C-alpha cells in the first residue's frame, strides 16, 4: 500500500466514492456486517453527542468546546482498531477514539465544564488527557513508543494532530525521533483544511502533509479521512508496519471541519458557503450510511430510533456531570507533587483562614450585624 | 563532582531497569563534560544513548517515557539550550499529575550544567533557576559538593516528581572531596547549614558556596562570624531553616549568580521578613548578578559575584 500510494505520487487513498459505492475493491477491508453496523452506530453516537454539546454550550451550560462535526470517520476507524492496551495520544478533536478507549462522555463533559477530574479517565487505560498546546503531545507519543519498544510490549501508539500542528517544531521533532528510534507510533494528521481561520496553503509549501513523511524516512500516506473504509484499511496497514518493527507511520487524513474551530469561533468570516456545501457531499456519515443502505444493513427508521436513544443517553451523562458538585479547595493543591511541599501546605492553610474570615463576614452581613 | 554524578547514574542504572539516560552526545562521547562517560559501555545502547539534537524532543519524549512507566534522566547540554524544551516543562512535565488528577505521573530528571565563570561562549553562562522555581509542579535543585551531587541525584531519580537538577559547571572538577561509596540519598527540599555563626546569615547554593566561603575567611579576620546555609533546593524552599537562622543572627544576605530582580534572593528576603521581622537588625540584603545579560568572557568579571563583592556586603550589613 505504501508503495502504491507513495506520497511523492501525490494521490489520495480512497475506497468508497461520495455516494457510498466501493471504487477500490482491491483495498476494501474485510469487516463483518455486524461490526460495520456497530462502527457506524459509534460514529453516529459521537456525532449526536458532539452536536448536543454545542447546543449545551449555547445554553450556557458548558464552557468553550471544539466540535468534531464532519471528522467522525477518522476517530471512528481508530476506535474500531485501537486495543485496550494501546496508547491514545489525542489532540482535542478525537471524541470517537476516546469513547472507544473507554473514556465516558460524562468525563469529557466534566473537563469542558471546568473539572480536571474529567481527564482522570477511570475506565480508559493508556489514554492521555486532551492536549491543548498544539503538537506538543506528539513528542510524548514518540517517548511512549520508546518505552513500548524498550519493554518489548505488543502495543501501539495512536497520536493525533491537526493540519496547523504540522507547522510546529514538535511535529518535526516527534516524527524525527520516532523515525530514528523505529518505534510503533501511528501519527494521524486530521487535515480539516483550517487551523482556526488559517487555510492549509498558508501552513506549508509542501504539496501535501503526507509527503513530509518522505523526508523523515518513514512510511506515509494521504487518505480520504471522510471514507471510513479507507481510514480503516490505512490504519490496518500501518499497524502491520509498526508490528514488524519498521514503524512509525504518518497518515494525513483529509477531512473538513463542518463546525467552528471552537464554540467561540465564527467560520463565516473565513470560508464560503459554496465551499461548505461542496464538502457536505463528502460527509463521512452520509457516505457510510449510503453504503449500509445499499447493502440493506441500515435504514432511516433505524437511524431515527438510534438518534432518539442516543440523545437521551447523552443528556443523561450531561446531567450527571452537571450534578458533579463543588470543586473542593484541596483539589487545587494536592495533585502537584507526590507529597505536598510544606510551603504549599501553608498556602492552603492561609486560604482556609481567609475562607473562614469570609464566611464570618458574609454571615454577619446576612444577619444584619456589622 | 563529575565523578559523583556519574556514580549516582551508574548506581541507579544498575539498580532500576526503568532508568534511561539520554541526551545530546551523552552516549558514545559521555557528554561534553564527560558526566556520562562509560555508562553506555556498561549499561548498553538501549539505556544510555545519543538522542537527535532537539531539546523539546528530548524533554517531550521523556514525558512520554515517564507516563509509560520509565524513569528517564535526560541531559540538556548547556543551560542556554533548555529553552526550546520550556513548553514541554511548563505545559506538560510539571502539569501531568494535576491535569490527570493523579492518573499519570512524570518521574523524570532533567540534568543541566549552568552558571558562569568558565570563559565560555555566548549562551553558556546563565543562571536562570528563578524562572524554573516559578513553575508550579516542578522541583529545582542545585548541589554544591560532590557528596551532595551524588545523594541528591539519587533522590531525584527515585522521586515521582519532575526535577530540574542544575549542575554548577564551574565547580565540576574544582572541589576534591571524598564521597562515600555505594548508595545514599539526601532529601530534596532541605537546606544544609554548612557553618554556624552569630553575626549574619548567608544563603547561597551551587558555585556560590565556594565564593562565600572565601569571603568568610576574610570576614573572620575582622571578627565577623557568618552562618552559611547551602539552600540545595530552590523549590521546595526550606523556609524553616532560613527563618531559624535569621532569628538567631538578625541579618541575612542571599548570594546568587542570576539576575537580581524577581530572583531567588528576592524570595529569601521576603521569607526573612515574613518569618523573622521583629528579629531583623538590618534589611534583608542580596549579592547577585546584574539585571543584564552575562557579558562575554572579557567582561564577565564585572558581572560575576566574587568574594570581595560578598565581603563588601557583609561589612555593610553588619555595620548597618
B20, A150 Cβ separation under 8 angstroms: yes
Clarify whether A361 is annotated catalytic: no
What is the number of H-type helices and E-type strands within chain A?
Answer: 13, 7
Residue A114, Cβ neighbours under 10 Å: how many? Answer: 11
A50 vs A105: CA distance, rounded Å: 10
B145, B99 Cβ separation under 8 angstroms: no
For the cut 60, the answer to whether the pLDDT of residue A6 exceeds it is: yes
Contacts of A174 in chain B (CB under 8 A): 57, 60
Interchain pair B87, A143: CB under 8 A: no
According to DSSP, residue B168 is labeled: E
Tell me how far apart the 2 most distant CA atoms of chain A are, in Å: 83
A256, A193 Cβ separation under 8 angstroms: yes
User: How high is the mean pLDDT of chain A?
Assistant: 96
Contacts of B231 in chain A (CB under 8 A): none
pLDDT confidence of A133, banded at 50, 70, 90? Answer: very high
Q: Each residue of B88-110: pLDDT tens digit?
A: 999 999 999 999 999 999 999 99
Contacts of B189 in chain A (CB under 8 A): 341-342
pTM, rounded to two decimals: 0.96
B239 vs A201: CA distance, rounded Å: 55
Q: Each residue of B238-259: pLDDT tens digit?
A: 999 999 999 999 999 999 999 9
Interchain pair A143, B62: CB under 8 A: yes
A118-124: average pLDDT: 96
Structure confidence at residue A364 (pLDDT): 72
Where would I find the beta strands (DSSP E) of chain A? Answer: 87-89, 157-162, 185-191, 194-195, 198-199, 219-224, 249-254
B177-206: average pLDDT: 97
Tell me how far apart the 2 most distant CA atoms of chain B are, in Å: 59
B61-74: average pLDDT: 98
CATH class of the structural domain B2-171: alpha beta
Chain A residues touching chain B at CB-CB below 8 Å: 87, 89, 116-117, 119-121, 128-129, 133, 136-148, 150-151, 169-170, 173-174, 176-177, 180, 331, 335-338, 341-344, 346
For the cut 80, the answer to whether the pLDDT of residue A367 exceeds it is: no
What the block records as the C-alpha cell of B237 is 524552599
B256, B127 Cβ separation under 8 angstroms: yes
| Cα distances (Å, whole numbers) of residue A26 to A1, A29, A58, A219, A254 | 10, 9, 45, 20, 21
Per DSSP, the three-state class of A359 is helix
Task: Tell me the percentage of chain B whose pLDDT exceeds 70.
Answer: 100
| Cα distances (Å, whole numbers) of residue B234 to A37, A260, A334, B264 | 58, 44, 20, 7
B16-23: average pLDDT: 98
| Strand ranges of the sheet holding B226-230, from the earlier edge strand across to the other edge | B192-195, B226-230, B200-204, B252-255, B285-287
For the cut 90, the answer to whether the pLDDT of residue A49 exceeds it is: yes
User: How high is the mean pLDDT of chain B?
Assistant: 97
pLDDT confidence of A21, banded at 50, 70, 90? Answer: very high
A283 vs A256: CA distance, rounded Å: 8
**Which of A157, A34, A180 is closest to A88 using CA atoms?**
A157
Residues of B noted as catalytic: 124
pLDDT confidence of A362, banded at 50, 70, 90? Answer: confident
Residue A1, Cβ neighbours under 10 Å: how many? Answer: 17
Q: Indicate where chain B has its CATH 3.40.50.970 domain(s).
A: 2-171
Q: Indicate where chain B has its CATH 3.40.50.920 domain(s).
A: 192-319
Length of chain A equals 370
| Cα distances (Å, whole numbers) of residue A328 to A61, A332, A361, A362 | 20, 7, 21, 19
pLDDT confidence of A365, banded at 50, 70, 90? Answer: low
**Which of B109, B159, B66, B160 is closest to A143 using CA atoms?**
B66
| B265, B271, B277, B282 alpha-carbon torsion, rounded to 10° | -10
Q: Where are the domains of chain A?
A: 7-322, 329-366
- CATH 3.40.50.970 is right for the domain spanning A7-322: yes
For the cut 70, the answer to whether the pLDDT of residue A332 exceeds it is: yes
Structure confidence at residue A46 (pLDDT): 97
What the block records as the C-alpha cell of B71 is 524513569
| Strand ranges of the sheet holding A219-224, from the earlier edge strand across to the other edge | A87-89, A157-162, A185-191, A249-254, A219-224
Interchain pair B52, A173: CB under 8 A: yes
ipTM above 0.90, yes or no: yes
Number of inter-chain CB pairs under 8 A, A vs B: 134
Structure confidence at residue B277 (pLDDT): 98
B178 vs B182: CA distance, rounded Å: 13
Structure confidence at residue A370 (pLDDT): 45
DSSP string spanning B195-233? E--SSEEEEE-TTHHHHHHHHHHHHHHTT--EEEEE--E
Structure confidence at residue B39 (pLDDT): 98
Measured in Å, how far apart are chain A's first and last C-alpha atoms?
79
Structure confidence at residue A128 (pLDDT): 98
Fold of B192-319: Rossmann fold (3.40.50)
**Which of B166, B228, B220 is closest to B203 using CA atoms?**
B228
Amino acid at each position: 500500500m505504501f508503495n502504491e500510494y507513495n506520497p511523492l505520487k501525490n494521490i489520495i487513498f480512497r475506497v468508497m466514492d461520495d455516494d457510498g459505492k466501493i471504487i477500490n475493491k482491491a483495498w476494501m477491508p474485510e469487516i463483518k456486517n455486524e461490526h460495520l453496523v456497530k462502527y457506524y452506530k459509534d460514529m453516529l453516537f459521537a456525532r449526536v453527542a458532539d452536536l448536543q454539546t454545542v447546543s449545551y454550550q449555547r445554553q450556557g451550560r458548558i464552557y468553550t468546546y471544539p466540535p468534531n462535526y464532519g471528522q467522525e470517520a477518522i476517530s471512528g476507524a481508530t476506535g474500531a482498531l485501537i486495543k485496550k492496551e494501546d496508547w491514545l495520544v489525542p489532540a482535542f478533536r478525537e471524541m470517537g477514539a476516546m469513547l472507544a478507549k473507554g473514556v465516558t462522555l460524562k468525563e469529557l463533559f466534566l473537563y469542558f465544564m471546568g473539572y480536571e477530574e474529567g481527564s482522570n479517565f477511570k475506565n480508559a487505560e493508556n489514554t492521555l488527557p486532551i492536549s491543548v498546546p498544539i503538537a506538543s503531545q506528539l513528542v510524548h507519543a514518540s517517548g511512549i513508543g520508546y518505552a513500548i519498544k524498550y519493554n518489548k510490549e505488543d502495543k501501539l501508539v495512536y497520536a493525533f494532530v491537526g493540519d496547523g500542528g504540522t507547522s510546529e517544531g514538535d511535529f518535526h521533532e516527534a516524527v524525527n525521533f520516532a523515525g530514528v528510534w523505529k518505534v510503533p507510533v501511528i501519527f494521524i494528521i486530521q487535515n480539516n483544511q483550517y487551523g482556526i481561520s488559517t487555510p492549509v496553503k498558508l501552513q506549508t509549501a509542501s504539496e501535501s502533509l503526507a509527503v513530509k513523511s518522505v523526508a523523515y524516512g518513514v512510511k506515509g500516506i494521504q487518505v480520504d479521512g471522510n471514507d471510513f473504509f479507507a481510514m480503516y484499511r490505512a490504519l490496518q496497514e500501518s499497524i502491520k508496519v509498526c508490528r514488524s518493527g519498521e514503524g512509525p507511520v504518518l497518515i494525513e487524513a483529509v477531512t473538513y471541519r463542518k463546525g467552528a474551530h471552537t464554540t467561540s469561533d465564527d467560520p463565516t468570516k473565513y470560508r464560503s458557503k459554496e465551499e461548505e456545501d461542496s464538502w457536505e457531499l463528502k460527509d463521512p456519515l452520509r457516505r457510510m450510511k449510503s453504503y449500509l443502505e445499499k447493502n440493506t444493513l441500515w435504514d432511516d427508521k433505524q437511524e431515527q430510533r438510534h438518534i432518539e436513544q442516543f440523545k437521551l443517553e447523552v443528556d443523561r451523562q450531561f446531567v450527571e456531570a452537571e450534578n458533579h458538585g463543588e470543586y473542593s479547595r484541596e483539589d487545587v493543591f494536592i495533585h502537584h507533587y507526590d507529597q505536598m511541599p510544606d510551603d504549599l501546605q501553608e498556602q492552603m492553610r492561609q486560604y482556609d483562614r481567609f475562607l473562614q474570615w469570609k464566611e464570618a463576614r458574609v454571615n454577619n452581613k446576612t444577619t444584619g450585624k456589622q | 563532582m563529575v565523578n559523583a554524578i556519574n556514580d549516582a547514574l551508574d548506581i541507579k542504572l544498575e539498580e532500576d531497569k526503568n532508568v534511561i539516560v539520554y541526551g545530546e552526545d551523552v552516549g558514545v562521547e559521555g557528554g561534553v563534560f564527560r558526566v556520562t562517560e562509560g555508562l553506555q559501555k556498561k549499561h548498553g545502547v538501549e539505556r544510555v544513548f545519543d538522542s537527535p539534537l532537539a531539546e523539546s524532543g528530548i524533554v517531550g519524549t521523556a514525558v512520554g517515557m515517564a507516563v509509560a512507566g520509565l524513569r528517564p534522566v535526560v541531559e540538556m547540554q548547556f543551560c542556554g539550550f533548555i529553552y526550546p524544551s520550556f513548553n514541554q516543562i511548563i505545559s506538560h512535565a510539571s502539569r501531568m499529575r494535576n491535569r490527570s488528577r493523579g492518573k499519570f505521573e512524570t518521574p523524570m530528571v532533567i540534568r543541566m550544567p549552568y552558571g558562569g565563570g568558565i570563559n565560555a561562549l555566548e549562551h553558556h553562562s546563565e543562571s536562570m533557576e528563578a524562572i524554573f522555581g516559578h513553575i508550579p509542579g516542578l522541583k529545582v535543585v542545585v548541589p554544591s559538593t560532590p557528596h551532595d551531587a551524588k545523594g541528591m541525584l539519587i533522590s531525584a531519580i527515585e522521586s515521582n516528581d519532575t526535577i530540574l537538577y542544575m549542575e554548577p559547571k564551574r565547580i565540576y572538577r574544582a572541589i576534591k572531596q571524598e564521597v562515600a561509596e555505594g548508595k545514599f540519598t539526601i532529601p530534596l527540599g532541605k537546606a544544609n547549614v554548612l557553618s554556624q555563626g552569630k553575626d549574619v546569615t548567608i544563603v547561597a547554593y551551587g558555585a556560590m558556596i565556594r565564593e562565600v566561603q572565601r569571603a568568610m575567611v576574610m570576614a573572620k579576620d575582622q571578627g565577623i562570624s557568618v552562618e552559611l546555609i547551602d539552600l540545595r533546593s530552590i523549590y521546595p524552599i526550606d523556609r524553616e531553616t532560613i527563618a531559624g537562622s535569621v532569628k538567631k543572627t538578625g541579618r541575612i544576605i542571599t548570594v546568587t549568580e542570576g539576575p537580581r530582580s524577581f530572583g531567588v534572593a528576592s524570595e529569601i528576603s521576603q521569607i526573612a521578613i515574613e518569618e523573622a521581622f521583629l528579629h531583623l537588625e538590618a534589611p534583608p540584603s542580596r549579592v547577585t548578578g546584574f539585571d543584564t545579560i552575562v557579558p562575554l568572557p572579557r567582561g564577565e568579571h564585572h558581572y560575576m559575584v566574587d568574594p570581595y563583592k560578598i565581603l563588601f556586603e557583609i561589612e555593610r550589613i553588619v555595620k548597618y
